[in-house]
Copies of this chain bind each other. A is one copy, B any other.
């Protein structure tokens, strides 16, 4: 198997660094591949690049060194000390593949420089293909602009106006560099007609949006349970307490709105109606990466009898996200290799707000994923 590049936007952040350190640790046999769904027997197979075949690089606006970041992740309990120490000497090498965000006079030029960085990475490491994955902080909801509607208009606008949010600029650069693109955040990313036109032009696959790591994951199995039992959900109200970089960012009401909407969508999609209640996000610095979500569900059963359920989820966001980043890199690369272009609807399993008319119940998403991967392993 030829090697596959994984280019991470936000490469010095918690999710990216946990992904990279984890891949090194798994490759060295220091841990079981827990959390990696592509390592399950239902999905493993020859079409997917091996964990040892992944090479990492990326962009970040921060210049925090990887060893400092790893140190803080170990202190926070996100990374276990032993594997982190064991792969420490590989970090320096890895760091050489990280790039600052280029500065440029306009977005067209910026995109060109970003694409150049990615292309240099591909050549330097002799990679057959590169998957670009956005794991940077969530952006505020973006204001629509006419230039978002077509590639021609977009290119013209980019030459003089900053019309794209950063996440979409990276998507543009990725597609320009002939790379597939994965939106792991709720930011706009590839969600603009002009960018989808660009992806289509190059026949490139893309996937998204917003990695499904905690509370929404639980919702995606509990909501179908209520539906299958014909129990009427009256209220579904959730509180998410989280710290860390993403927490601070989501405390901003604009970013919060993007995320909270994405978190309730699964209910309407799986129940067929929208129950009362909302999903609330609160920044609590002290909690760090160990997010706590609490949900209250009230429902009616036979003859209208009222009942209720509560759950608390104490998950480590980066530890839940990182293996999915590796999974998405492997799956998207394999799809690209198999000649798949356009949105990868079969990857809905991984996302809170999946692209397209797809099932939102986790088991249905799982079935679609298994069928897709079987097709990759044994093409007709």
Contact = CB atoms under 8 A, between A and B. Distances in A.
Interface residues of A, number: 75
A18 interface: yes
A71 B98 CA distance: 37
Given A221-B224, A230-B37, A294-B239, A301 B323 contact: yes
A53 to B, nearest CB: 19
Contacts of A252: none
Interface of A: 18, 21-22, 25, 31-37, 39-40, 77-80, 83, 217-218, 220-222, 224-225, 228-232, 234-235, 237, 239, 241, 276-278, 280, 282, 284-287, 290, 292, 294, 296, 298, 300-305, 307-316, 319-320, 322-323, 349, 361-364, 366
A301 to B, nearest CB: 4
Contact of A362 (B228, B231, B302, B313): B228
Q: How many copies make up the complex?
A: 4
A15 B33 CA distance: 35
A78 B302 CA distance: 9
Contacts of A309: 218, 311-315
21 contacts: A21-B303, A31-B303, A34-B232, A34-B301, A35-B231, A40-B228, A220-B225, A221-B222, A224-B363, A234-B286, A237-B239, A239-B280, A241-B277, A276-B284, A280-B282, A294-B296, A305-B316, A307-B316, A307-B319, A308-B314, A311-B312
A360 to B, nearest CB: 13
Given A18-B303, A302-B323, A309-B315, 15 more contacts: A22-B303, A31-B303, A34-B304, A218-B222, A218-B225, A221-B221, A222-B222, A235-B241, A235-B286, A239-B280, A241-B296, A301-B315, A305-B319, A307-B314, A307-B320
A285 B276 contact: yes
Given A35-B302, A229-B37, A301-B35, A315 B307 contact: yes
Contact of A280 (B32, B231, B280, B316): B280
